[in-house]
Amino acid sequence: MQQVDYFNKNQQKTVFSKNETGIAMFLVLWVLTLLSVIVGEFCHAMRTEVNITRNFKEETEAYYIALAGMNSAVSELIKNENAPQKPENSDKEKEDKIEWRVNADIPAIPFGAGQFKVEIGNESGKININKAGESLLRMMTEFFEIEDSEKAVIADSILDWRDQDSLHRLNGAEDDYYLSLPKPYPCKDVDFDAVEELLLVKGITAEIYEVLKEIVTVLDTGEAEPEAGNRGSDSDKININAASPEMLLSLPGMTEDMVSEIIEYRKEKDFKSQSELYPIVGDEVYTAILPYLAYPASISSFFTVRSVGMLNDSLTRQSVKVLVKIDPRLPKKYRIVEWIED
């Protein structure tokens, strides 16, 4: 009996020992799993923090490279404004020298740990909605796929917004319309101070405004004022040498192929006369766009400069866009009119 009891006790001890070993093993595995999760989460958090820090560093570097490009462009525009007229350079000199011209294809320029790419535009290549006559305003609306009656409303309403009387045109609007709106306001009856005011004008939706804001301006481009009562004279024409691709494409009959040819031509030199444009667009389009284009020897003092900063071995991009006035009479020779960060 004693031997049997001893044997049973040993069996129980063995079972208890195995159970304790299994529990201990389970606890160890559980702790290891928990530690693995904690370590994994910590590594993920650290990796995320490193990526955020790296992205912030790269974005900051790219931003200041873009800023350097903008400052370089402004500096070159000031030099061009002050530089005396020189004879054309040879082909070799043209290849070696970067031409900081309006709408020219300026190559990317190395700077620091990356490079910047600059685009220069000029306000004389846009429609001045404070000077544009009825004909030019109606041409501007032809770009939109809307009813003719809606196009007439936009053109007449712009004219009514800036004139100084309270008599509305056939399709226009004055105080009687604007004061009847859910959120009433009076018709301005004076020139536009900002392009954004177009959103207040009858007939102009947010979608239409998104297109118009790229091709219109309210800034004085330096052209002579039209004669009294004649807002549709030559002063409201578009400078073909400063017109953007979007502006050119809005001209009647203009195709993308024609616009591409004009841009290629301007990379080498500016248009100086109508005869240089004729071979590109042909007789029909030439006749249609003739009333809307000008070929001035000088351009507006207001420039749009867009600079994109890029880093080597990185997809990070940062851009800066400014509207700047270049004037030797200013204390710094220039003045930033508007600053837009993309």
Q: State the CATH number of the domain containing residue 178.
A: 1.10.40.60
Are 174 and 203 within one domain?
yes
Asked which of 181, 214, 247 is the last residue of a domain, the reply is: 214
Q: What is the pLDDT of residue 20?
A: 66
Residue 9 sits in the same domain as residue 97: yes
4: alpha, beta or left? (left if phi > 0; alpha if psi -120 to 50): alpha
Report the C-alpha gap between 154 and 142 in whole angstroms: 11
Q: Model confidence over 241-293: pLDDT tens digits?
A: 989 888 898 898 899 999 999 998 988 888 988 889 999 999 899 999 988 98
Give a yes or no: residue 75 inside a domain. yes
Q: 199, 214, 229 — which closes off a domain?
A: 214
334-341 β-sheet, strand order: 109-111, 114-122, 302-311, 317-326, 334-341
Burial class (CB in 10 A: 0-12, 13-18, 19+), 71: middle
What pLDDT is recorded for position 161? 96
Strand bridging mode 334-341 / 317-326? antiparallel
Instruction: Work out whether the CA dihedral 101, 102, 103, 107 comes out positive or negative.
Output: positive
- Boundary residue ending a domain (198, 214, 230): 214
Residues 50 and 119 in one domain: yes
CB-CB neighbours of 4 under 10 Å: 8
> Taking residues 318-327, what's their average pLDDT?
92
The pLDDT > 70 percentage for the chain reads 84
Residue span of the structural domain in which 145 resides = 129-214
Tell me the β-bridge partners of 339: 322
**179 and 157 co-located in one domain:** yes
What is the C-alpha separation between 59 and 315, in angstroms, rounded? 10
Check pLDDT > 80 for residue 85: no
Class of residue 21 by CB neighbours under 10 A (exposed 0-12, middle 13-18, buried 19+): exposed
Query: Would you state the structure tokens that stand for residue 6, as one six-digit string?
Result: 């001893």
In a domain, 32, yes or no: yes
| Per-residue model confidence (pLDDT) at position 87 | 46
Question: Which residues, 6 or more positions from 88, have their beta carbon under 8 angstroms from its beta carbon?
Answer: none
> Are 108 and 55 found together in one domain?
yes
Q: What is the mean pLDDT of residues 222-249?
A: 65
Q: Is residue 195 part of a domain?
A: yes
- Flag whether 311 is in a domain: yes
Question: What is the longest distance spanned by two Cα atoms in the chain?
Answer: 132
Structure tokens at 175: 């105080």
> Phi and psi for 333 in degrees, rounded to 5?
75, -5
Count structural domains, the chain. 2
Q: What is the pLDDT of residue 227?
A: 35
| 241 within some domain | no
Indicate whether 201 and 307 sit together in one domain.
no
Distance CA 140, CA 125 (A): 13
DSSP 3-state of 169: coil
The mean predicted confidence, pLDDT, of the chain is 83
Name residues whose C-beta falls within 8 Å of residue 135's C-beta, 6 or more positions apart in sequence: 232, 291, 292
**Residue 308: inside a domain:** yes
Same domain, 122 and 143: no
pTM here is 0.72
* Residue bearing the bigger pLDDT, 124 or 88: 124
Q: Is residue 260 part of a domain?
A: no
90 inside domain: yes
Alpha helices for the chain (secondary structure H): 2-82, 91-96, 134-141, 148-162, 175-178, 206-212, 245-249, 256-268, 274-289
Residue written as tokens 């936009």?
Answer: 154
